[in-house]
Amino acid sequence: MNPPAVRVPEYWARAKRTLARRDPVLDLIMRAYPGAPMSSYENAFRTLARSIAGQQISVKAADSVWARVCALSAIEPAALLQYDLKALAACGLSQRKAEYIRDLAAHFDSGAIRPERWPAMDDEAVIAELVEVRGIGRWTAEMFLMFHLLRPDVLPADDLGLQKAVSQLYFQGENVGAAGVRHIGPLWAGWRSVATWYLWRSLDPVPVEY
């Protein structure tokens, strides 16, 4: 089996140059972490199903559960719909996550979700479509916009890691929450996904993948 195709953002270098001019704090972080940018696997359904399977458990546990799901079935909507909740739960998924993944598969299989439309849709329209699926909230949809669709200007203000980085680097450790992230967000306008990725690096040098 061929490995999944991986894409990287074509705008990354341009975004870094712009952000470095605007924000000296971010410039220092980007210089400290000059490695590869975030990347995207091309299969939208697989990316979303994997994100549901990994919710609220450790990375190690999520990898183990996902490996068993992959051993059970091809990760395609019609294939997964052949298995009932009991079979999916036997892979280590909770009953609720098994329900969520089947609901996701049904949305793709029925055409309620059609990835081919996304290039013409703005970020909020894609989010609105995705959150119709059980188990996908705004944060998961924002991660999908960043890491799968490679949208350049997503600001996941409710992300606790981003809030922590902003608090430490821009507000002397004051707990400013999502409001503080939104307050400083215009500084990175146009490239807020890139700024977020590097602010996460300031807390954990190992890049996140979805």
Residues catalogued as catalytic? 159
- CA atoms in the 13 A half-sphere facing the CB of 27: 9
Alpha-helix residue ranges (DSSP H) falling in the chain: 12-22, 24-32, 44-53, 59-72, 77-80, 85-89, 95-110, 123-130, 138-147, 160-170, 177-184, 192-203
User: Within a 10 A sphere around the Cβ of 93, how many other Cβ atoms?
Assistant: 21
Residue 154 and residue 123 in contact, taking contact as beta carbons nearer than 8 Å = yes
Nearest to 153 by CA among 184, 185, 181: 185
